[in-house]
């Protein structure tokens, strides 16, 4: 029986997971190789060690189902974890739906989003390896905010390359990062060879996550070991760190006396979606549950729904490894939508493999409809969501309206991955009618996809 009278489901500190869940152990499709961007041979630990400490590299390749969370990391998790699970009763009433809508509120973290779940362990393992400084990129600024906070906790210097359009749209995200001691630069910058080349072609280049990644990778790779690189999404160890979301949500749904028919998360690189969805996918694979897992992306950057499933570079400058993913092409320049954290040309390889094999679903939603859902949620539930997270809200509302149309009771769970307190300029534009939808630019993407690397898997398997 569901708990019909309870709205908020809270766990205790003792319920903070002691282990991360690693999807590699249960992956129902074979892994694809990760290739060197120059030689196209499988990457080696030596290559990756230029960018990452060995502990994170070993997590990336591990096939163990559970990876212990260090107590030092759990101690900092206690600042905000476990996060609440909330039933959106007022939203249900506003929609007039028989569906039960639940959301896991990751905006309860000090940084305001789920990103702190991986920023803390990445800073911890870098510090343990003797790293003195990190470089990274950020889109909307949520990842940069989280990593700047984590680096402050572990006394690490940090350089943040922030996508220029977001740097201009969200100045207070920059101030928050600087408050925690980070240096923040609008990407593309004149600090890297790649940035200078782009600015020479177009001084008004608005930037993209792919470009910011390239600059951060270059800054680390050319530092003679003085800096390491940290990534907020896409890679396996990042998605694994986020599994604390879904592990807590499983316990909280049990407290609610219900089990979700559908689990929803927005996707750009894929970390918050994987964080809530992969533990439920485990239950599907191991225990025969039939929960639908729905990834929601912007119609302006529809990597899963419109991209090609192919090998591509993880960044625009072709410095990051080549991985198989749904991609719009590494040179694709997304429209300057306000969901900066979702403006990425590709997607986490594990999510792409699962989507290609039919284990997860995906849909793309337009910007204006997303903000309509965000405002409706805010007026019902009292939380202004991040524009990224609002994509999940849009899909959750659509699911609830479908349930209303069919008279079906549907249990919906989505990840509210961050608050939008620093995104009010975007809301102002929406409320004043200043936003526009961006259609999938088929011609531009086709041109970008024509530049995909030609990978010979037979040669890659044996080495050239």
Structural domain for 170, as ranges: 46-67+114-234
- Give the alpha-carbon dihedral of 54, 56, 61, 65, to 10 degrees: 130
Going from the C-alpha of 140 to that of each of 127, 165, 208, 247, 288, the distances in angstroms are: 26, 9, 11, 26, 37
At 464 the pLDDT is: 36
Q: Is 191 exposed, middle or buried (0-12, 13-18, 19+ CB in 10 A)?
A: middle
Residue closest to 308 by CA, chosen among 322, 294, 323, 329: 329
Please count the structural domains in the chain. Answer: 2
Q: How far is Cα 104 from Cα 108, in angstroms, rounded to an integer?
A: 10
Q: How far is Cα 9 from Cα 83, in angstroms, rounded to an integer?
A: 9
User: What is the chain's pLDDT, residue by residue, as a tens digit (464 residues)?
Assistant: 557 789 999 999 999 999 999 999 999 999 899 998 889 999 988 889 999 999 999 999 999 999 999 999 999 999 999 999 999 999 999 999 999 999 999 999 999 999 999 999 999 999 999 999 999 999 878 899 999 999 999 999 999 999 998 899 888 999 999 999 999 999 999 999 999 999 999 999 999 888 998 999 999 999 999 999 999 999 999 999 999 999 999 999 999 999 999 999 999 999 999 999 999 999 999 999 999 999 999 998 999 999 999 999 988 888 888 999 999 998 887 777 666 667 788 999 999 999 999 999 999 999 999 999 999 999 999 999 999 999 999 999 999 999 999 999 999 999 999 999 999 989 999 999 999 998 777 787 788 778 899 887 655 444 33
> What does residue 297 show for φ and ψ, rounded to 5 degrees?
-130, 165
Shared domain check, 249 and 223: no
Neighbours of 201 (CB within 10 A): 8
Shared domain check, 207 and 94: no
Q: CATH number, domain at 367?
A: 3.40.50.1100
> What does residue 46 show for φ and ψ, rounded to 5 degrees?
-65, -40
At 294 the pLDDT is: 98
Shared domain check, 208 and 256: no
At 344 the pLDDT is: 82
Token pair listed for 160:
């943040």
Token pair listed for 134:
């990190």
* Residue 85 near residue 64, CB atoms below 8 Å: no
Shared domain check, 186 and 161: yes
Shared domain check, 257 and 397: yes
Shared domain check, 300 and 212: no
Shared domain check, 278 and 183: no
Half-sphere exposure of 19 (CA within 13 A, CB side): 9
pTM, entire model: 0.94
Token pair listed for 118:
């991986």
Q: Which residues of 425-460 are buried (b: 16+ CB within 10 A; e: fewer)?
A: ebbeebeeeebeebebbeebbeebbeebeebeeeeb
Shared domain check, 104 and 90: yes
Asked which of 179, 213, 234 is the last residue of a domain, the reply is 234
Asked which of 234, 269, 292 is the last residue of a domain, the reply is 234
Q: Is 13 exposed, middle or buried (0-12, 13-18, 19+ CB in 10 A)?
A: exposed
Shared domain check, 278 and 213: no
Query: Is residue 406 assigned to a domain?
Result: yes
Q: How far is Cα 305 from Cα 316, in angstroms, rounded to an integer?
A: 21
Asked which of 176, 204, 234 is the last residue of a domain, the reply is 234
Token pair listed for 441:
């630019």
Helix (H, G, I), strand (E, B) or coil at 208: coil
At 458 the pLDDT is: 55
> What does residue 306 show for φ and ψ, rounded to 5 degrees?
-125, -10
Q: How far is Cα 207 from Cα 267, in angstroms, rounded to an integer?
A: 19
Q: How far is Cα 462 from Cα 248, in angstroms, rounded to an integer?
A: 42
Shared domain check, 265 and 230: no
Q: Which residues of 147-183 are buried (b: 16+ CB within 10 A; e: fewer)?
A: bbbbbbbbebbbbbbbbbbbbebbeebbebbeebebe
Neighbours of 407 (CB within 10 A): 8
At 336 the pLDDT is: 72
């Amino acid at each position: 029986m569901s708990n019909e009278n309870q709205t908020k489901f809270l766990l205790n500190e003792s319920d903070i997971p002691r282990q991360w869940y690693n999807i590699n152990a249960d992956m129902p499709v074979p892994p694809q190789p990760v290739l060197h961007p120059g030689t196209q041979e499988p990457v080696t630990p030596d290559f990756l060690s230029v960018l990452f400490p060995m502990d994170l590299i070993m997590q990336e390749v591990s096939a163990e189902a559970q990876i212990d969370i260090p107590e030092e990391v759990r101690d900092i998790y206690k600042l905000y974890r476990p996060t609440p699970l909330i039933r959106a009763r007022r939203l249900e009433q506003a929609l007039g739906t028989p569906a039960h809508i639940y959301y896991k509120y990751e905006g309860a973290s000090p940084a305001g989003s789920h990103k702190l779940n991986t920023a803390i362990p990445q800073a911890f393992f870098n510090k343990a390896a003797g790293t003195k400084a990190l470089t990274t990129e950020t889109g909307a600024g949520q990842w940069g905010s989280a990593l700047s906070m984590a680096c402050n906790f572990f006394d690490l210097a940090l350089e943040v390359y922030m996508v220029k359009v977001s740097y201009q749209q969200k100045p207070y995200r920059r101030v928050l990062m600087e408050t925690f001691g980070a240096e923040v630069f609008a990407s593309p910058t004149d600090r890297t060879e790649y940035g200078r080349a782009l600015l020479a072609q177009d001084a008004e280049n608005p930037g993209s996550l792919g470009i910011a990644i390239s600059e951060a990778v270059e800054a680390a790779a050319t530092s003679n070991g003085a800096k390491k690189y940290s990534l907020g999404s896409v890679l396996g160890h990042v998605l694994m760190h986020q599994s604390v979301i879904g592990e807590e949500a499983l316990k909280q749904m049990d407290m609610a006396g219900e089990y979700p028919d559908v689990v929803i998360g927005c996707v750009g690189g894929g970390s918050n979606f994987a964080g809530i969805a992969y533990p439920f996918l485990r239950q599907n694979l191991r225990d025969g549950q039939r929960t639908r897992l729905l990834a929601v992306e912007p119609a302006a950057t529809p990597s899963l729904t419109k991209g090609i499933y192919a090998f591509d570079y993880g960044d625009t400058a072709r410095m990051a490894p080549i991985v198989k993913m749904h991609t719009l092409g590494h040179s694709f320049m997304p429209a300057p939508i306000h969901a900066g954290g979702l403006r990425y040309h590709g997607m986490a390889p594990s999510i792409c493999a699962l989507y290609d094999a039919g284990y997860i679903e995906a849909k793309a939603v337009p910007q204006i409809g997303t903000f309509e859902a965000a405002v409706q949620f805010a007026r019902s539930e009292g939380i202004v969501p991040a524009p990224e997270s609002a994509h999940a809200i849009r899909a959750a509302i659509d699911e609830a309206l479908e349930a209303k149309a069919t008279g079906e009771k549907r249990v919906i769970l989505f990840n509210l991955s961050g608050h939008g307190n620093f995104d009010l300029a975007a809301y102002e534009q929406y409320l004043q009618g200043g936003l526009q939808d961006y259609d999938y630019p088929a011609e531009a993407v086709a041109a970008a996809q024509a530049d995909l690397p030609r990978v010979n898997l037979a040669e890659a398997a044996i080495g050239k």
